[in-house]
């Protein structure tokens, strides 16, 4: 039972890291542009599908992880510069409808190019299999995912707190009008913010592909979780989005533990044993 609890905590932590990446990206866009990006989920899906295609063409999983988020950034730049920017002076309803329409269109494009049936992206041989932690045998890729996502979150935090561009983005969240008064090109700030949010969504999608698989609806599936992260964190709070994402992931792991314990209890009442992780409890 201890092995089950520890493994689900680690699983929840891995999910939480992915939620934190996606949630921070959505928080940045919402805080600076003041737009709830309904296309954020499909950007996450595009990251996974781009990674699958690049890995299949090049045979390099690591190159796919590097290049796919950059392609998603390009899509984000197009959405912002050619669509959202033209609606900044319009009512918010137009911006919401535009991004929601983009989400539906991109999802249909995914179905056209990759088909309606889901599939999976295998981790490379160097990250396949499991590793013995001494107290638990745990999948190697999931462990690397936790460490890499944590590293990326630290890099993002340092970028936002230690660089001039990061200071401008944080200032835009606090007071967008003041950024304009200081003579900063607000349109470029909006473009970079949307691009950074798209990058984080695409990176999370690419990292999630080997463990969650790929389906055309994966973008719409994660979108409600993204908004939950933003609401729990507090609108515009980047540290809050990181913490909220991790807590939500851990909550899902805890729910799995509770379900397994409940199922085990019911099976025990019926005189049955349940095999979990090679151990009967």
Region 151-180 average pLDDT: 81
User: Is-contact 35 29, C-beta < 8 A?
Assistant: yes
Query: Is the predicted pLDDT of residue 177 greater than 90, yes or no?
Result: no
Residue 230 near residue 30, CB atoms below 8 Å: yes
d(CA 63, CA 61): 6
| CA distances to 7, 10, 76, 154, 275 from 233, in Å | 26, 22, 24, 18, 38
Decide: residue 238, CB within 10 A, 0-12 exposed, 13-18 middle, 19+ buried: buried
What does the pLDDT read at residue 264?
63
**What is the pLDDT confidence band of residue 6, given thresholds at 50, 70 and 90?**
confident
| 152-179: average pLDDT | 81
For the stretch 7-34, pLDDT in tens is 888 888 989 999 999 999 998 888 878 8
The DSSP secondary-structure symbol of 127 reads: G
Q: What is the mean pLDDT of residues 164-178?
A: 77
Q: In this structure, what is the dihedral angle of CA atoms 103, 107, 113, 118, given to the nearest 10 degrees?
A: 150
10 Å CB burial of residue 134 (0-12, 13-18, 19+) is exposed
pLDDT tens for 104-120 read 999 999 999 999 988 88
Give residue 66's pLDDT: 95
Burial per residue of 201-214, b for 16 or more beta-carbon CB atoms within 10 angstroms, e otherwise: bbbbbbbbbbbbeb
* Model-wide pTM > 0.85: yes
CB 142, CB 10: distance < 8 Å: yes
Question: Residue 172 pLDDT > 80, yes or no?
Answer: no
């Amino acid at each position: 039972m201890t092995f089950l609890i520890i493994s689900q905590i680690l699983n929840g932590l891995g999910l939480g890291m992915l939620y934190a990446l996606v949630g921070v990206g959505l928080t940045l866009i919402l805080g600076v542009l003041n737009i709830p990006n309904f296309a954020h989920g499909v950007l996450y899906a595009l990251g996974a599908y781009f990674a699958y295609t690049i890995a299949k063409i090049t045979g390099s999983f690591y190159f796919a992880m590097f290049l796919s988020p950059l392609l998603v950034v390009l899509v984000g730049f197009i959405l912002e510069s050619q669509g959202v920017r033209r609606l900044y002076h319009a009512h918010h309803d137009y911006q919401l409808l535009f991004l929601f329409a983009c989400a539906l269109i991109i999802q249909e494009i995914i179905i056209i190019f990759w088909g309606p049936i889901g599939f999976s992206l295998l981790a490379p041989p160097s990250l396949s299999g499991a590793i013995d932690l001494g107290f638990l045998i745990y999948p190697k890729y999931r462990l690397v995912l936790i460490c890499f996502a944590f590293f990326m979150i630290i890099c993002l935090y340092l970028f936002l707190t230690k660089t001039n561009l990061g200071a401008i983005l944080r200032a835009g969240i606090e007071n967008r009008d003041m950024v304009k008064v200081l003579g900063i090109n607000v349109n470029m700030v909006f473009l970079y913010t949307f691009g950074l949010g798209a990058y984080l969504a695409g990176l999370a999608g690419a990292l999630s592909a080997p463990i969650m698989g790929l389906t055309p609806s994966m973008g719409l599936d994660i979108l409600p979780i993204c908004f939950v992260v933003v609401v729990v964190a507090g609108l515009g709070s980047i540290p809050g989005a990181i913490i909220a994402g991790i807590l939500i992931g851990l909550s899902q792991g805890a729910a799995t533990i509770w379900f397994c314990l409940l199922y085990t209890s019911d099976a025990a009442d019926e005189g049955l044993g349940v095999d979990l992780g090679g151990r009967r409890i």
